[in-house]
Structure 1
Amino acid sequence: MGFPKGRRRIAVAVAALLATAAVAATVYRVLAPAEVSTPARAGYPPAVTPSPGVVGRLPVAPLVVDGRLRVYAAHRQVYADRPVDGRHRTTPYWSYRRWPAALDGVVASGTTVVTRWSDGRLVALDARTGQVAWRADGPAPVGDRAVRRTGAAMVWDPRGVFVARAPDGRQTVVVAGAAHVRAVDLADGRELWRSHTTVTVPPGEDATGCRDVAGTSASGHLITVDSCAGPAVVEFRDAVTGAVGLRWRPPGAGDELVATPVGCGTGRTGCTGLRTAAPGDDTGRGWLLGAGEPVAAPALDRPDAELVGGTAVTVVDGAAVGRAPRTGAELWRRSGLSQARLVAVQADRVHLLTGTNDLVTLDPATGAQRSWFALNAGSDGIGWAPGAAYAADGFVAVERLRKPVDPTGDDQRYYLTSEPVIFAAT
């Protein structure tokens, strides 16, 4: 005995509506904007002092935070593992994920990790717990950026997001977009100031960004190249107040100008020097940054020169050479480094990679050797080419690329192995 036709139609209609509602609810749960925060469930790990040597291999690029954690970037997620000297990547200590925005960059200072997303959102996380410390709106990143599977571009060279430390210790996060620059307090995400990066143009014409943010200085200034109203000038803006304190043009500079900060921390922050050049010109002029106008530093003129702890370091004919930046006087020389290249620096260390992939670490003040060992893990060998590299808190990480290097190849062809990042203590 069945239902009458009328009741059957009603039952079918109700079932269809319920099914549609269930599907809609599922779609909403999957596609609706959301964030998932998984805080730490264990104690904050202690700092470590590992012996020099290879620590291990990692599938993704680490950002060392507070000398205790490694933080990684994925397409829609940032997460950390511990201990910092772990041989392999481990189960996340904490994790934070957003949808549908994509992660664009990560910067860190002390125990604060600041993430920037494709929709312009800034989310700061407490590295000790993984909990959200604050959220703020910022300008969206400009254009698309190719990021390979290690995520190195997001953690070692984040674009358009910088940390500046004022002389009194106050820290600012500065974010640059297509139309404006915005600064927020690192402590709580409160907006401090904003400034336009474009000029007004006649109707029907495209607005063109005419202020390019290059980095932040050790004195707490935002370094910007401004070409809005004539020949390009380098502008130094107080990162806390937004006030422009100095507008400067290198002597003899043309109408266009490229400014490359040197002597910086990760992400072009806390820079102590600058190299200026015409667009597309490999020859430039080096400068030291301080309280007043930049001071000429000829030892930084070379495009491969680095400024480390007040010493200009270059590699010339198989020798690492340290020079006084202003006079060019040779301070020390370390020979016998066949086919060596400078791959990374940090405040108290210079890291070079020899032609046989030995990692050599020198003291920038004296040139004395701190460590020397083969950058090899397991049975991987040394037949690889170095890619992006990074150094912080006594550690060095280097991407290992398959020879011959094919920049257009997919990740499987481009990288040496599925764990292409070699991680070492120096």
Structure 2
Amino acid sequence: MGFPRGRRRLVVTVAALLATVAAAAVVHRVLAPAEVSTVARAEYPAAPQPSAGVVGRLPAAPLIVDARLRVFAAHRQVYADRPANGRYRTSPFWSYRRWPAELSGVVASGRTVISRWSDGRVVALDASTGRVLWRADGPVPPTGDAAVRRTGAATVWDPPGLYRAGLPGGRTVLVVTGDRQARGIELAGGRELWRVELPGSCRGDVGTTVTGQLVGLDTCAGPAAVEFRDAATGAVRERWRPAGAPDALVVTPLGCRTGRSECPALRTAGPGDAGGRGWLVGAGGPVPAAALDPAGATVVGEEAVTVLDGTAVGRSARSGTELWRFGGLGPAARVLAAQPGRVHLLTQDNDLVTLDPATGTQLSRFRMNVGSDGTGWSPGAVATGDGYVAVERLRRPVDPDAEDLRYFLSSEPVILAVS
């Protein structure tokens, strides 16, 4: 015997409804906005004390945090491994993932790791555990930025629209900018301090200064002007143009503590690098620094360093007085990067030479080679911190429009070294 026809239709209808509800539940679980935080299960590691030399090679760009962890960026995830001097990437120490938002940028300050997402959300994590410290809303990240390549270097080494700024009393502000808005968020607790509207594509970020200012380049009302905005209040304190500067202006931050944050100097130039001039930036406005005029010069502390014809020269950034010389670097040597107490030079043979910027004393020198990779590569993006130097290795000749397979030297293109 079967069900009567009416009852059979009812059973079929109910089954169909149940299947629809189950399918909807599955779809909701898969596609609904989600946040997955996998915290650390091990103790926070001690800071290693590695010897100078190449550590290893990595498939992704590491952000060294607190000299103990390496933080990496994925499409929808930020995660950490350890130790900082590990030869290879290891299983995550902690991980934080969001869906469907995409990771836009990462910065760190002490033991706090801040991630920014495509929906404007800003999330602070405790580096020692991976636990969420706070969440805040910010403007949607800038649009039209260059595509992020597979190392994630642009996300962790130079995140667009995400900057640190130190204030008196040890406070730190995150300055978060979008196409048409900027906000200041206090690092301790995530409290929003201010928000201002921006004019749009005719204004771009340069970075933040060591004296707590957001620097922008504004072309909205005539010739380009450099804008200094107070990171504590969001108010514009000064609009400035170098005397005799061309209408079109390129402004490059120099000596930044990380990415384009907390920079002590700027370099201005016209099209084609015409008329390059260096400036120290402080509370009293830009001060000319002729020692920073040459392209490729940088500043570390009070010293400006440049390389000319195989010789590194250190000068007082303020007076221009020569302090030291270090020769024998060979042709095509260049300043690669700097960090507190160290300036890193790269020779034509890809030797990494690290000098004390105050005295010119050599701290270390070694070839940037690992395994059988060789040194036939050109440097791409670079990051430093806590004595570490990480460099993207690019295939020669460098083709900026090439796909990743042709653009990078290998599947593990980032070489990590201790200076």
Question: TM-score, normalised to structure 1's length?
Answer: 0.94
Whole-Å Cα distance in 1 between the matches of residues 390 and 14 of structure 2?
60
> SS of 2:234's equivalent?
coil
Aligned position for 1:10: 10
Structure 1 position 395 matched with structure 2 position 388 = yes
Whole-Å Cα distance in 2 between the matches of residues 266 and 283 of structure 1?
27
**Given the alignment, which residue of 348, 351, 358 partners 2:341?**
348
Alignment of 1:286-305 (within 5 A): 286-305=278-297
Alignment of 1:47-66 (within 5 A): 47-66=47-66
Structure 1 position 169 matched with structure 2 position 170 = yes
Aligned position for 2:404: 411
> SS of 1:168's equivalent?
helix
The alpha carbon displacement at 1:192 in A equals 0.4
The alpha carbon displacement at 1:280 in A equals 4.8
For each residue in 1:25-64, what CA deviation from the matched residue of structure 2 results, as whole angstroms up to 9, or x when unmatched? 1111111111111111111111122110111111100000
Whole-Å Cα distance in 1 between the matches of residues 393 and 203 of structure 2?
35
The alpha carbon displacement at 1:279 in A equals 4.7
Aligned position for 2:198: 197
Aligned position for 2:93: 93
User: Which region of structure 1 is more displaced relative to structure 2, 271-280 or 363-372?
Assistant: 271-280
Aligned position for 1:124: 124
Alignment of 1:19-418 (within 5 A): 19-144=19-144, 145-198=146-199, 208-338=200-330, 339-418=332-411
The alpha carbon displacement at 1:162 in A equals 0.4
User: Which region of structure 1 is more displaced relative to structure 2, 366-375 or 244-253?
Assistant: 244-253
Whole-Å Cα distance in 2 between the matches of residues 31 and 48 of structure 1?
41
Whole-Å Cα distance in 2 between the matches of residues 57 and 140 of structure 1?
34
Whole-Å Cα distance in 1 between the matches of residues 204 and 271 of structure 2?
13
Q: Check conservation: 2:225, 2:241, Cα contact below 8 A.
A: yes
Kindly tell me: are residues 124 and 282 of structure 1, through their superposed partners in 2, closer, same or farther at Cα, counting changes over 3 Å?
A: farther
For each residue in 1:323-360, what CA deviation from the matched residue of structure 2 results, as whole angstroms up to 9, or x when unmatched? 22244332222111123222221111111222222111
User: Which region of structure 1 is more displaced relative to structure 2, 227-236 or 331-340?
Assistant: 227-236
Q: Check conservation: 1:197, 1:212, Cα contact below 8 A.
A: no
Whole-Å Cα distance in 1 between the matches of residues 77 and 353 of structure 2?
34
Amino acid at match of 2:365: W
Whole-Å Cα distance in 2 between the matches of residues 279 and 111 of structure 1?
41
User: Which region of structure 1 is more displaced relative to structure 2, 163-172 or 259-268?
Assistant: 259-268
Question: TM-score, normalised to structure 2's length?
Answer: 0.95
Whole-Å Cα distance in 2 between the matches of residues 172 and 290 of structure 1?
17
User: Which region of structure 1 is more displaced relative to structure 2, 70-79 or 9-18?
Assistant: 9-18
Alignment root-mean-square deviation, CA: 1.6
Kindly tell me: are residues 405 and 257 of structure 1, through their superposed partners in 2, closer, same or farther at Cα, counting changes over 3 Å?
A: closer
The alpha carbon displacement at 1:156 in A equals 0.7
Amino acid at match of 1:193: W
Aligned position for 1:201: none
Whole-Å Cα distance in 1 between the matches of residues 101 and 396 of structure 2?
35
Amino acid at match of 2:249: L
> SS of 1:328's equivalent?
coil
Whole-Å Cα distance in 1 between the matches of residues 218 and 398 of structure 2?
36
Amino acid at match of 2:245: A
Q: Check conservation: 2:123, 2:132, Cα contact below 8 A.
A: yes
Whole-Å Cα distance in 1 between the matches of residues 227 and 399 of structure 2?
38
Q: Provide structure 1 residue ranges, at least 5 long, that are not aligned to the other structure.
A: 199-207
The alpha carbon displacement at 1:230 in A equals 4.3
The alpha carbon displacement at 1:80 in A equals 0.3
For each residue in 1:201-225, what CA deviation from the matched residue of structure 2 results, as whole angstroms up to 9, or x when unmatched? xxxxxxx434322111111111223
For each residue in 1:57-110, what CA deviation from the matched residue of structure 2 results, as whole angstroms up to 9, or x when unmatched? 111000001111100000100000011111111110110011111111111111
Kindly tell me: are residues 280 and 159 of structure 1, through their superposed partners in 2, closer, same or farther at Cα, counting changes over 3 Å?
A: farther
Q: Check conservation: 2:264, 2:280, Cα contact below 8 A.
A: yes
Whole-Å Cα distance in 1 between the matches of residues 266 and 174 of structure 2?
21
Kindly tell me: are residues 279 and 21 of structure 1, through their superposed partners in 2, closer, same or farther at Cα, counting changes over 3 Å?
A: farther
For each residue in 1:252-294, what CA deviation from the matched residue of structure 2 results, as whole angstroms up to 9, or x when unmatched? 2244433221121112111111112235544321111122121
Whole-Å Cα distance in 1 between the matches of residues 402 and 206 of structure 2?
30
> SS of 1:107's equivalent?
strand
Identity of counterpart residues, as a percentage?
Answer: 66
Whole-Å Cα distance in 1 between the matches of residues 96 and 271 of structure 2?
39
Kindly tell me: are residues 102 and 50 of structure 1, through their superposed partners in 2, closer, same or farther at Cα, counting changes over 3 Å?
A: same
Q: Check conservation: 1:125, 1:134, Cα contact below 8 A.
A: yes
Whole-Å Cα distance in 2 between the matches of residues 256 and 357 of structure 1?
35
What is the aligned residue count? 417
Q: Check conservation: 2:216, 2:226, Cα contact below 8 A.
A: yes
Q: Check conservation: 2:302, 2:318, Cα contact below 8 A.
A: no
**Given the alignment, which residue of 401, 404, 414 partners 1:421?**
414
Whole-Å Cα distance in 2 between the matches of residues 93 and 156 of structure 1?
20
